[in-house]
C-alpha cells in the first residue's frame, strides 16, 4: 500500500454542522449506514486520504452528501473495476483535478493559452485513467484465458472418463 502523501489531498472539509451547500452533516454511524459501509471503512478511507469529512471542535467526524457520493464512487471502483485502494486514490485524484480544470477552463478570466494548457493536462489525465482501466482489463482477460484452459481440461477429463 502507498502512503497518504502518494494519494493526494482532497479539498478541505467545510465547518462542522453543515456542508458548504448548507445541508446537514451526518455522524459516522448514520453516514456508514447510508453509504452501506462500516464505520471502520469510513475511518480507513479517511486515514488513506480518500475521504476528508468535516470535524467538530471535539474531533467528531461529520459527513456531507458529497462525502457519501465519494464513498459510493470508491465502492463502485472497487466492485465494477476491481481497483485496489491505491489505484482508487489515483483515479479520485485525477477526477478531482479534472473537476478543477473544468472550473478554471470555464472561468471568463482564463486566457486562451491557459485553456490550451488545461486541455493538454485534461488529455494527460484522461489517458492515465484509461491506462489504469486498460491494465485491469488485460489482467481480467488473462484470468479468463486461464479459466478457459482449466475448464477445457476438466471437460476433456470428464469426457475421457465417460468413454471408459
Q: pLDDT, tens digit, for every residue of 34-86?
A: 999 999 999 999 999 999 999 989 989 999 999 999 999 999 999 988 899 99
Distances (CA, A) of 29 to 43, 135, 140, 161: 11, 36, 36, 56
Distances (CA, A) of 145 to 9, 48, 149: 39, 34, 6
For residue 86, give every residue at least 6 positions away whose Cβ sits within 8 Å of its Cβ, in sequence order, or none: 1, 2, 6, 7
The CATH code of the domain at 4-163 is 1.10.1660.10
The answer to whether residues 42 and 28 touch, using CB atoms and an 8 Å cutoff, is: yes
Domain ranges of the chain: 4-163
d(CA 51, CA 119): 27
What's the chain's average pLDDT?
88
d(CA 70, CA 77): 11
The answer to whether residues 49 and 57 touch, using CB atoms and an 8 Å cutoff, is: no
Q: Residue 4: what pLDDT?
A: 39
Residue 55 grid cell: 470535524
pTM of the model: 0.74
Residue 110 grid cell: 482564463
Residue percentage of the chain with pLDDT more than 70: 87
Q: Can you tell me the mean pLDDT for 103-108?
A: 96
Give backbone dihedrals phi and psi of 25, rounded to 5 degrees, phi first.
-100, 150
HEC string of 78-117 equals: HHHHCCCHHHHHHHHHHHHHHHHHHHHHHCCCCCHHHHHH
d(CA 42, CA 25): 15
Q: Can you tell me the mean pLDDT for 118-133?
A: 95
The confidence band for 18, taking pLDDT boundaries of 50, 70 and 90, is low
Amino acid at each position: 500500500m502507498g502512503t497518504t502523501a502518494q494519494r493526494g489531498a482532497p479539498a478541505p472539509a467545510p465547518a462542522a454542522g453543515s456542508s458548504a451547500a448548507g445541508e446537514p452533516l451526518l455522524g459516522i454511524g448514520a453516514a456508514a449506514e447510508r453509504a452501506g459501509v462500516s464505520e471502520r471503512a469510513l475511518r480507513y478511507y479517511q486515514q488513506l486520504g480518500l475521504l476528508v469529512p468535516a470535524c467538530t471542535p471535539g474531533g467528531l467526524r461529520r459527513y456531507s452528501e458529497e462525502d457519501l457520493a465519494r464513498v459510493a464512487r470508491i465502492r463502485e471502483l472497487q466492485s465494477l473495476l476491481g481497483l485496489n485502494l491505491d489505484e482508487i486514490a489515483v483515479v479520485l485524484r485525477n477526477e478531482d483535478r479534472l473537476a478543477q480544470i473544468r472550473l478554471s477552463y470555464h472561468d471568463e478570466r482564463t486566457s486562451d493559452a491557459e485553456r490550451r494548457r488545461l486541455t493538454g493536462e485534461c488529455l494527460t489525465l484522461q489517458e492515465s485513467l484509461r491506462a489504469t482501466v486498460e491494465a485491469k482489463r488485460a489482467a481480467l482477460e488473462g484470468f479468463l484465458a486461464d479459466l478457459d484452459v482449466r475448464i477445457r481440461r476438466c471437460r476433456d477429463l470428464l469426457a475421457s472418463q465417460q468413454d471408459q
